[in-house]
A and B are shown apart, each in its own frame.
Chain A
Amino acid sequence: MVVTGMLETLLRSSFPDASELAVEDRTGGGDHFQVTVTSGRFDGLSLVEQHRLVYEALSEPLADGSIHELRIKTRGNA
């Protein structure tokens, strides 16, 4: 649960306006995650650009191997 909480904190600071923000540990192993974010920051962006913002927010745990697998679901407010 340590990593789950850390991912939530990182996402919250990158998407302070998020109306929906969830991190699910898909396997219970603490390294396969599903993140769901609904934020106005995604408005008007392509899915590639939206996911890039999530990757940026989570660049540290992605780089250091804390995240083995990441599934992303993003939505804008518009």
Chain B
Amino acid sequence: MSGLSEQIKEIIENEPVSVFMKGTPQLVMCGNSDRALRALRAAGAPVTAVDVLPDPQIRQELSALSGWPTIPQVFIKGELIGGADIVEELYASGELQAKLDAALGTEREPSEKTAEVAATA
């Protein structure tokens, strides 16, 4: 298995929409992660969620890659969209839907799945 940083990078670059959050879509552990997830759902995004809580190293490596200090972090096709405030603001203005349309097409199916990353022993 590749290193933690490579695993995170792979998810950011290969998943259509990824969200690094506290908890899972089924059990959200933070209000801001919840706000980001709700906006993505409302915009009809296919979401791949990664829980950062199992290991503090996940958050460290993620922030080192993205240059963004807080959780959640939302990416569309490798591009950092922002945290909860930005995602909510973009949803309210219609820009989130427009970004998703441009990146993934208007025929996209909303969905939710989780992905896991782990430091190699």
B69 within 8 A of A: yes
Taking CB atoms, residues of chain A closer than 8 Å to B83 are: 51, 72
**B69, B80, B90, most chain A CB atoms within 10 A:** B69
Number of B residues with CB within 8 Å of any CB on chain A: 15
Main SS class of interface, A: helix
A48 within 8 A of B: yes
Q: Which among A51, A62, A69, A70 is the interface contact of B82 at CB below 8 angstroms?
A: A51
Q: Which B residues between 75 and 102 are near A, CB-CB below 8 angstroms?
A: 80-86, 89-90
Apart from A51-B83, A69-B32: 6 A-B pairs, beta carbons within 8 A: A47-B89, A48-B82, A59-B69, A71-B32, A71-B84, A71-B85
> What residues make up the interface of A, taking CB atoms closer than 8 Å to B?
47-48, 51-52, 55, 59, 62-63, 69-73
